A and B are shown apart, each in its own frame.
Chain A
Amino acid sequence: MAAQTVSTTLSLSGAQRFTVALSALLLGVFLVYGAGLANSAVLHDTAHDTRHSYGFPCH
């Protein structure tokens, strides 16, 4: 019983792995887009120095 629990928590099926990958990708792109690229005056001003140091196209 215990061994079975361990094996299920330690194995990640292909579908699960794809779900995690897709969630991570969407969330990651959303965050990077918001900080680096979004066309909003407030976001731009807040992230100004970050955008310049990461070389995001700015202004």
Chain B
Amino acid sequence: MLIRLLLAAIVAGLLSGVLMTGAQELKVTPLILHAEQYEGGEDTHHGNVTPLPGLSRLAQFVSPVTAAHAHGDAEAAGGILFGLNRFGGTLMANLVTGAGFGLILLAVSLLTGTGITLKNGVLWGAAGWLSFQFLPAIGLPPELPGFPAADLVERQTWWIATVVLSALGLYCLVLREAAWAKALGVLLLAAPHLYGAPQPTDIESNVPALLGAEFAVAALATTAFFWVVLGLLLGGAMDRFGRAAQ
């Protein structure tokens, strides 16, 4: 029973990750590749886009995505796991991310005692999207390579805090009846934005603003698709296998 629940979440996440990879190829990935052509101003640590030799160059022919972009300083130590090409790396990362989000969604459902079903799967997906993508994006919009940004650790800290507070806020606002809980929910949702996300001091960028605007919308739309699919698949799986937990 226990393993079956975890497996249902992982399988729903993996399938969503596969579909996400397809959806990314429509708009998000082409925009990232386009932006990388402008990357590499002297104020960034990114190197120029250098194709990797050998296998990954060959892989260009079977993939719509060019060989690993490899940022300047990361290139020496980095590279893609298991010698995959860029598309393979993205697919693998999407699978891992999908499984992770699926498990988190299951955990929240069990902890709050609110079942995920095919019927309410879209709402669960929407809550995940709001917590992990949309609300953090108010302070830190999805960024293209080459965009100016504040210190990475500060941004990650703010991002994690915002995700946790947003999820707690949505729980208080949506799943609790009491007026004080709803008020607390609004406060929790607003808190990270009242505090403010870390912003770069210099907003100069070589990347055209038009690409940034297109990317922000495309990234949020694509992740919305991912979360709706994940919510529906997990809901369907729980309807079948997870009745007991609901």
Report A's interface with B, CB cutoff 8 A: 9-12, 16-25, 27-37, 39, 41-59
Find chain A residues with CB under 8 A from B2 CB.
Answer: 12, 16, 19-20, 23
Instruction: Give the contacting residue for B107; candidates A25, A49, A50, A57; CB below 8 A.
Output: A25
In the complex the two chains form, what is the Cα distance from A58 to B70 in whole Å?
13
Q: If the complex has contacts A24-B107, A50-B94, are A45 and B28 also in contact, measured as CB distance less than 8 A?
A: no
Query: How far does the Cβ of B45 sit from chain A's closest Cβ, in whole Å?
Result: 8
Contact flags B85-113 to A (C-beta < 8 A → 1, else 0): 01001101110110111111111101100
In the complex formed, the residue of B with least CB distance to A25 is B107
Q: Is the CB of B244 within 8 A of A49?
A: no
In the complex formed, the residue of A with least CB distance to B82 is A46
Query: How far does the Cβ of B156 sit from chain A's closest Cβ, in whole Å?
Result: 5
Instruction: Give the contacting residue for B103; candidates A27, A33, A59; CB below 8 A.
Output: A27
Q: Is the CB of B243 within 8 A of A46?
A: no
Q: If the complex has contacts A48-B89, A49-B29, are A24 and B103 also in contact, measured as CB distance less than 8 A?
A: yes
Q: Is the CB of A49 within 8 A of B9?
A: no
In the complex the two chains form, what is the Cα distance from A1 to B97 in whole Å?
42
Query: How far does the Cβ of A7 sit from chain B's closest Cβ, in whole Å?
Result: 10
In the complex formed, the residue of A with least CB distance to B3 is A20
